[in-house]
Amino acid sequence: MIDKCPICSGTGKKIVRYKTCPECEGSGYICEFDTKSHFKGISKRSKYDLDLAEVPCPNCDGSGKVPVYDTCDYCGGSGKVVKCDKCGRYIGKYPDHKDVTLCDICRREEEERRKNLKTVYELDNLCNVGDVETGKFYKGVVSRTEKYGVFVSLNEQTRGLLKPREMVGKKLSDFKIGDEVIVQVIDVRPEKREIDFRYIPLTDYTVEKLEKEIPLTTIKEIIDKGLVEMIDEIVHIRGEVIQITQTPGPTIFTVTDGTETAWVSALDIAGLRAHPEVMVGDIIDVIGTVSIREGRLQIERLKLKKLEGEEAEKVKREIERKLDEKSEPYGDIDFLVESPVLEKLRPRMAHVAKKIRRAILDGKPVIIRHHADADGYCAGLALERAILPILSKFSIDVDAQWHYFKRSPSKAPFYELEDVTKDLVYSLEDKLRFGQKMPLVVLTDNGSTDEDIPAISQAVAFGVDVLVIDHHYPGEVVDGRVEVDEYISGHVNPYLVGGDSNLTAGVLATEVARMINKDVTEEINHLPGIAVVGDHAKGREVEEYIKIALKDLTKWSKRYGSGKEYTVEDLEKIALCMDFEAFYLRFMSGRGIVEEILATNKREIYRHERLIDILYKRAMEMIDRQMRAALPALKTQKLENNIILNTLDVEKYTHKFTFPPPGKTCGFVHDTVVKKYG
């Protein structure tokens, strides 16, 4: 302890000698004066003896001598000394000995006493059954009482049983829930997570905090070691929060460290948000125990801390680097056909493919919006078949294909406000209910024109990324860019590199899909052939894609179907059946039906052939019915320049609300006129 110096009384100085007072020169007085004038109003009797007086010197207090000081040797001039906390003996000067609490005698006595003390260990929350040793004493808290004994918790995850026969000097009724108790371990069974305790009264003991350091690891390393083998092991990870879901019990944080994704479960109060300071996009440091939920890794939180500043930035940069590597597409894959236009589009296609892969890794939902015709469905389905396996591989959610992916057709030949409103409403609801991020929207067979801009700009305003894969004329191209490029994150269109619309959306999306996931080539390599036939495209590349489709479908038909030789007429039938079914699907994705019509389930091509026969027959019946109503009302006029002008009042002379709709009806009428006049 620190006390006032007994020698100098805390001044830090001592008197070494005296010298003559310089003020009074040793007389002790400074002057004489008439005191009567200073005491007016006092009676004469009271001041009879104050006629003349000498004033004592204030410097020496009338002694004529003044002291000369030097530094106190005992305290070193500080005015303080250090004494033993136990016996009060002088230890030394302050501050030289400020950290010493016991004198040498008391210190030796304390060391002797400690040699005979028991050490009681206090576990932190990271310690588990494996850190407990037989024979040692531990501090715990009574967490439960039963007839057969008392359960004592050493921390949140480690507890054992104190049986009545092991209670020395106490009865079962003496222990209450919440009581602190010191127990001795008599048996540990780590494989069963069981500990047996003995209670022995201790009076003199020392408490030692047992803290455990958990080395940093990656989620992939945990998974690679085997989840079953790692159950209940304590692990330490750092990662980015990509989703937060509040359940009726714990709060679930979906975390990625760039190698893999895991759930982190945190429960403070059931149904109440744990760690409200943590938001999506934050970097967190987590220590917890390994568990399994739905066959995937879940870490039960023991400690969770939000990282900030340079530490968080460093982790973020490392995660970005790893995710960027994993999101690299197969950008150098050979196209299905040789095409100068496709080669010029390759960088744009690789960019779009990478954005889609990165969205999946970032935990963003992906929405595919395509035109509701054969070309649009071929494009949307090609992307779907490429994305779903990647989504299942990288997402921790076993139902990721339903929660993080959506494909919807658009009736209008552009991304209209009705479409974007639906997409935004569903996405915002998912964000509020399930903590999902705003989605990546991929527009295909739509999206390039100025008609798409109002809907796209509305989506972007809500933080939605938009990609476009289209083949329609996008307007004036300046330096490889068009007006819609100001609003979107990636754009694939043949017109941007000097091409035309004959490389349809089905062609472009199929090639992009192969860059996303090269393993789906066999499933989707026939889709471009159907798409170009459905859109009446022309050109060398078109013929090549048709040949690939015919060869592929013929091969699978001979293995698993009727064994027929496919022709261009068969591709036209498939395209017509897709248009027919699209009319009734309206805004539904048609998952399960569309795959059969477009023959992506090739080992079950027999069902495709049967379905095409049924749909084609019904579609032709309805087309014939519509033509019988429309053709008699068709007005044909040959102009002076030999152009044949045909007009038809579809509102007045065609069947409404049935297939084919007005647009398709005009197309079929046009085809009939072309056949008639050549």
Indicate whether 470 and 401 sit together in one domain: yes
By three-state DSSP, how is residue 439 classified? coil
350 plus 430 within the same structural domain: yes
Residue 483 is assigned to a structural domain of this protein = yes
pLDDT of residue 318: 94
Partners of residue 568 on adjacent β-strands? none
Of 286, 321, 356, the domain-final residue: 321
For residue 294, tell me if it sits in a domain: yes
User: What would the pLDDT profile of 594-632 be if each residue is shown by its tens digit?
Assistant: 999 999 999 999 999 999 999 999 999 999 998 898 889
What CATH number has the domain bearing residue 442?
3.90.1640.30
What pLDDT was estimated at residue 182? 92
Residue 577 CA to residue 566 CA, distance in Å, equals 16
Distances (CA, A) of 268 to 144, 250, 251, 291, 433: 20, 7, 9, 18, 20
Among 321, 351, 386, the domain-final residue is: 321
Return the amino acid letter for 467: L
- Residue 68 forms beta bridges with which residues? 17
What is the predicted pLDDT for the residue at 435?
A: 86
**Joined tokens for residue 383:** 């992307």
Closest CA relative to residue 353, chosen from 510, 246, 206: 510
Partnered with residue 561 across adjacent β-strands are none
For position 51, what pLDDT does the model report? Answer: 45
Distance of CA 227 to the CA centre of its chain: 21
On whether both 374 and 517 belong to a single domain, the answer is yes
Q: Answer for the pair 234, 275: CB distance below 8 angstroms, yes or no.
A: no
Residue-number span of the structural domain to which 671 is assigned: 628-677
| Residue 418 in tokens | 């009705």
On whether residue 93 sits in a domain, the answer given is: no
Domain identity same for 411 and 432 = yes
Whether residue 392 is contained in a domain is answered as yes
Q: How far is CA 316 from CA 91, 111, 220, 245, 347, in A?
A: 54, 50, 17, 22, 27
Q: Helix H segments across 561-661?
A: 568-585, 594-597, 605-630, 650-653
Q: 527-534 vs 505-516: helix axis angle to the nearest 10?
A: 160
Torsion sign across C-alpha atoms 538, 542, 546, 549: negative
Residues 203 and 226 in one domain: no
Please give the Cα distance from 78 to 259 (Å, whole number).
61
Return d(Cα 118, Cα 206) in angstroms, integer.
Answer: 6
Domain count of the chain? 5
This prediction has a pTM of 0.72
For residue 52, what pLDDT band results from cuts at 50, 70 and 90?
very low
Same domain, 537 and 637: no
Distance CA 594, CA 377 (A): 8
Q: Please answer whether residues 252 and 264 qualify as being in contact, where contact means their C-beta atoms are separated by less than 8 angstroms.
A: yes
Contacts of 479 (CB under 8 A, 6+ apart): none
| 611 in the same domain as 634 | no
Q: In this structure, is residue 108 part of a structural domain?
A: no
Strand, coil or helix: 565: coil
Contacts for 314 with CB less than 8 Å, ≥ 6 apart: none
Please give the C-alpha separations between residue 116 and each of 110, 136, 371, in angstroms, as whole numbers: 10, 15, 85
| Burial group, residue 241, by CB count within 10 angstroms (0-12, 13-18, 19+) | buried
Rounded to the nearest integer, the mean pLDDT of the chain is 89
Which pair of structure tokens corresponds to residue 545?
Answer: 């894609």
Task: Report the share of the chain in percent with pLDDT over 70.
Answer: 96
What residues contact residue 503 under an 8 Å CB cut-off, 6+ apart? 339, 341, 342, 471, 494, 537, 539, 541
Average pLDDT, stretch 476-480? 91
Would you say residue 543 has pLDDT above 60? Answer: yes
Average pLDDT over residues 218-244: 92
Q: For residue 48, is pLDDT > 60?
A: no
Same-domain status, 286 and 401: no
Reported as a single tens digit per residue, the pLDDT across 256-298 is 999 999 999 999 999 999 999 999 999 999 999 999 998 899 9
CA 377/CA 398 separation, integer angstroms:
26
Nearby residues of 297 by Cβ (< 8 Å), 6 or more positions away:
219, 222, 223, 227, 260, 262, 263, 290, 396
- For residues 652 and 578, state if they share a domain: no
Tokens 């056909």 sit on residue: 337
Structure tokens at 645: 């002008």
Q: Report the distance separating Cα 161 and Cα 187, nearest Å.
A: 10
How far CA 140 is from CA of 88, 116, 184, 191, in Å, comes to: 36, 22, 10, 21
**Residue reference for tokens 């390759």:** 346
Is residue 304 pLDDT above 90, yes or no? yes
Q: d(Cα 134, Cα 197) in Å, to the nearest integer? A: 9
Alpha helices in 362-443 (DSSP H): 374-394, 400-403, 417-434
Q: Is 102 part of a structural domain of the chain?
A: no
CATH code of the domain in which 234 resides: 2.40.50.140
Does the pLDDT of residue 558 top 60, yes or no? yes
| The pLDDT value given to residue 190 | 87
290 and 365 fall within a common domain: no
**Terminal alpha carbon distance of the chain:** 114
User: Quick one: pLDDT at residue 393?
Assistant: 87
pLDDT digits (tens, 9 = 90+) for 386-433: 999 999 888 888 888 899 999 999 988 899 999 999 999 999 999 998
The answer to whether residue 410 is domain-embedded is: yes
Domain boundary among 321, 348, 379: 321
Q: Which helix (H) or strand (E) holds 313?
A: helix 309-326
Q: Which two tokens mark 533?
A: 């036939």
Burial of 10 (0-12, 13-18, 19+ CB in 10 A): middle
Confidence category of residue 42, pLDDT binned at 50, 70, 90: low
CA distance 215 to 609: 59
Inside any domain, residue 495? yes
Do 463 and 537 lie in one domain? The reply is: yes
Same domain, 199 and 234: no
Band of residue 673 on the pLDDT scale cut at 50, 70, 90: confident
